[in-house]
Chains A and B, each alone.
Chain A
Amino acid sequence: MIFHSLTYLVFLALVLALYWSLPRRGQNFLLIIASYIFYGWEHPWFLLPLWASTLVDYGCARGMESYPRQRRVFLVISISASIALLATFKYYGFALENINAILANFGEQPIRNALRLALPAGLSFYTFQSIGYVVDVYRGKIQAVRDFPDYALYVTFFPQLVAGPIERAGHMLPQYRAPRTIDAETWRIALGLMFWGYFKKVVIADNAAVVANKIFALTDSSFPVVWAGVFAFAVQIYADFSGYTDIARGTAKLLGIDLMINFNHPYLATSPADFWRRWHISLSTWLRDFIYIPLGGSRASVARASFNLMATFTISGLWHGASWNYVLWGVYWGAMILLQRFLGSLGLTQRLPWLAKVTITFGITCFGWLLFRERNLSEIVHDLAQSPFAATGEEWRIAIYFVALVLIYALPLVIHMLATGLPHWQLEPRLNARQRFLLETAVAVVLLLGIVTIRSVATSDFIYFQF
């Protein structure tokens, strides 16, 4: 089921109506059943790997507590099972493609892909969330969940099941165990968040996608047109993913559950490292806690710390997709952060004015999005080979047209970003409760009006569903 469908809204209304009439345990059972319906709506078989992951990780965590001496064995079983799921559904085809390419070089026959399995939506999200839980139990940070429904809910909670945020057991489990309440103010805030999410998705992301898809479909485009496409994609992916998160967080709030913030105005970042503190925060912190720090983090020699960073970002790239361009994208970000550290150690970055830092970081981010969006390495090379001096005035005007078009759709987001992301521009602290209410209501009216009148015809799935 997708968030931006009438089916989902009816489903949510029914769930809410039932949910708030049930006691806590009943609420949890309802959420589990609702989550399975939500997830298996179009492809019921998607539930099989989800159930497998839930059962194995629940059992392994329980095993760690029951047999403390075998803790490591249970950890290895659990992580291996998660990796096996990812390998089977996500990386098998990619690995085979590369093996076949090597075989072709030696004139050998390619190996037939016998599996050809579709990737279950959100597999990377819930496997990482499960791994996080098992590792936290192993480290003794949390106790293993005894109550199976609580754990099943932790893995399957439908607002965040398909595209995150990748939550932590320490944050979610106490909420599932406690009685929940909701007041009128929370309803209003939750609905406001959802309106923002829908606006970001169906107005900004889907309209920007039309531009980006058009440009990235061309065999040959000039420098300004390529970069207008990259800009459109930068807007699309941010609006798409943060829109999903807003709808997820709003939905969860309606159920009395708080999900973590996943984005903090990433395009206002002042450095590559700052970007990753603001973009997909739940994944960045997961990678930091479960990969980067266990590898030794930055408390090691420069060479080792650099290796740790590059390894973490390479894994991040591979997490996004089984394709070399994602690996390249991860390596690129690792290299950018290393470069930032190096320039910082020379004292070169500190002196730059804020606007220059934001602009440079946005440029670095856009370059990364080019690697992310182009699936084919030869196309990346072709795009990068375009010279700005070879472009005609008309090509520049075409690019300006596309940038202007995307910016018009994204205008409310830009205003929101400036009004909430810049400390000295923040409007909210200056308003009293009544003024804030009026402003929030006016904003919500504008957003829904936008959804009604300028929603894109070309609706697509959320980009991060494929990961």
Chain B
Amino acid sequence: MVSPDAGPRVTQGRWRLTIFLAAVLLLPALVAHLIPVRRDFDPKPLARLRKKQPEVVLIGDSVLGGSVDPRLFATRIGVNDAELFWNGGAASAAWYLLLKNYVAASGIHPRLVCIFFRERMLTDSTFRTTPTYRHFLESISHEKEPVYRSILRRDETEEESTLGRFVDWLYPLNTRRHVQQDKISRLAFRVASGGSTKIGRLRRRVNETFDVAKLRDEIMDESTELSGAKAEAFNPDPKHSFLPHMVAAAKAAGLPLCFVRQKRYPLPDGTTPQSESLQRYIAELRAWLESEGSTLVDLTNDLEPDQTMYNKPGDDHMRPAAKERMTEIYAGKLRPLLRP
């Protein structure tokens, strides 16, 4: 027998389900769209470049930061000033943005612009673009960055279907979460620092603790951090790589662009082992760059720098005491490329 209040109960249940679904599906979509996508563009480096008018600009990651003293470099190479643009964990996405939004946009006329990389970093577009790095990336990008956003979206978006794009539009996962995750990370740092807002030192210590050289062997083998990027063939497809866009941006601004392959931690005899596929990749990269009017300088086969100049076994960073010598090596290699 059906209970007399069964009808109203069913209707009430359906109403509740409708309200539940509407609230659950629409409110998060609405709130997600209210979260700012990005940090504001940082204009300070732009002003600095215009003021300093450096004759050489060097772009890279922490390995560059630890290898080159810009003042000494300027003296050794024979220019008035050299500007170093480096950020720990920067890679091709960041280098493209730094080149386009600062060096090219500043209107300066350097005699040489160099991008320092290792292995396959130039063509792995998603390398170091996860939320940890996205915060920095957003600070050097403008609101409209069609190339940057389309390459990352293309390579990151798991679902390329219309439905996938619709879901991504409704619930913007990839473009918003780094903002929140950075806030959560900062909150955790503040907790660990006893409420202090000065979290930079602890953040650096955390980064140092997880330095690549401290990883277990099996992790090191798997780590893309170690080789720089995914072990793929050279592919300068502008839909998937920032490399052609870097070259195009430099051409458009009339910048003489050079790519410097940094030498990784060598064997005791000073050589650095390379797989056949990597050698093939570098040869193809060189040919492509030269066909585009750029240059490749490769330090890998130079016996100097040797093991004693590196921070520790397996680490590509230089020890502070070797910075001066390393600066001289780079200056010597790059001097012939200076535009008159």
Contact = CB atoms under 8 A, between A and B. Distances in A.
Interface of A: 5-7, 10, 183-185, 187-188, 191, 195, 214, 217-221, 225, 379, 394, 397-398, 400-402, 404-405, 408-409, 437, 440-441, 444-445, 448-449, 451-455, 457-458
Contacts of B143: none
Specify the main secondary structure of chain A where it touches its partner. Answer: helix
B8 to A, nearest CB: 13
Interface stretch (B101-109, B204-212, B293-301): B204-212
A6 B167 contact: yes
Nearest to A449: B28
Specify the main secondary structure of chain B where it touches its partner. Answer: helix
Given A220-B214, A398-B192, A445-B27, A453 B35 contact: yes
A397 B202 CA distance: 8
29 contacts: A6-B159, A6-B161, A7-B159, A183-B13, A184-B13, A184-B14, A184-B17, A185-B13, A185-B16, A188-B16, A191-B24, A218-B214, A219-B216, A220-B214, A225-B209, A397-B202, A398-B192, A401-B191, A401-B206, A404-B188, A404-B192, A408-B187, A441-B24, A444-B23, A448-B28, A452-B171, A452-B176, A452-B177, A457-B130
Interface in B11-39: 13-14, 16-17, 19-21, 23-25, 27-29, 31-32, 35
A218 B216 contact: yes
Given A6-B159, A185-B17, A398-B206, 10 more contacts: A187-B17, A217-B219, A219-B217, A221-B209, A397-B193, A397-B205, A441-B20, A451-B28, A453-B31, A457-B177
A219 B215 contact: yes
B35 A448 contact: no
A10 B171 CA distance: 16
Interface stretch (B178-186, B242-250, B259-267): B178-186
B233 interface: no
A449 B28 CA distance: 5
A454 B180 contact: yes
B163 A6 contact: yes
B131 interface: yes
Contact of B131 (A184, A448, A452, A457): A457
A455 B177 CA distance: 7
Nearest to B202: A397
Contacts of A397: 192-193, 202, 205
B10 A401 contact: no
Given A6-B158, A214-B210, A445-B23, A453 B32 contact: yes
Most chain B CB neighbours (cut-off 10 Å) among A7, A10, A408, A453: A453
Contacts of A449: 27-28, 31-32
B85 to A, nearest CB: 25
Contacts of A184: 10, 13-14, 16-17
B254 interface: no
Interface residues of B, number: 50
B312 to A, nearest CB: 12
B136 interface: no
A191 B16 CA distance: 13
Given A445-B27, A453-B32, A453-B176, A5 B158 contact: yes
B232 to A, nearest CB: 20
Nearest to B131: A457
Nearest to B26: A445
B214 A219 contact: yes
A188 B205 contact: no
The 5 A-B pairs with the shortest beta carbon distances in the complex, nearest first, are A184-B13, A401-B192, A405-B188, A184-B17, A404-B188
Interface in B114-172: 130-131, 158-159, 161, 163-164, 167, 171-172
Given A188-B16, A448-B28, A441 B185 contact: no
B187 to A, nearest CB: 6
A371 B337 CA distance: 57
B283 interface: no
Contacts of A452: 28-29, 32, 171-173, 176-177
A454 B177 CA distance: 5
B96 interface: no
A224 to B, nearest CB: 11
Contacts of B24: 191, 195, 441, 444-445, 448
Contacts of B210: 214, 217-218
B11 to A, nearest CB: 9
Most chain B CB neighbours (cut-off 10 Å) among A7, A184, A218: A184
B73 interface: no
A188 B215 CA distance: 46
A405 B24 CA distance: 26
A33 to B, nearest CB: 22
A408 B182 CA distance: 12
Nearest to B210: A214
B189 interface: yes
Nearest to B16: A437
Contact of B215 (A218, A400, A402): A218
A442 B173 CA distance: 21
Contacts of B173: 452, 455
B184 A454 contact: yes
Contacts of B13: 183-185, 188
Given A184-B10, A188-B17, A404-B191, A453 B158 contact: no
A409 B180 CA distance: 11
A339 B19 CA distance: 52
B16 to A, nearest CB: 5
A395 to B, nearest CB: 8
A441 B13 CA distance: 13
Contacts of A402: 188
A441 B26 CA distance: 12
A398 B209 contact: yes
Most chain B CB neighbours (cut-off 10 Å) among A221, A225, A408, A457: A457
Nearest to A406: B188
Contacts of B158: 5-6
A303 B133 CA distance: 58
Nearest to B193: A397
A218 B206 CA distance: 12
A217 B215 contact: yes
A187 B14 CA distance: 10
A408 B171 contact: no
A444 B26 CA distance: 12
A449 B176 CA distance: 12
A286 B209 CA distance: 43
Contacts of A437: 16, 20
Contacts of A6: 158-159, 161, 163-164, 167
A241 to B, nearest CB: 23
A217 B220 CA distance: 9
Nearest to A222: B209
Contacts of B23: 441, 444-445
Nearest to A442: B23
Contacts of B184: 405, 408-409, 454
Contacts of B29: 452
Nearest to A458: B130
Nearest to A454: B180
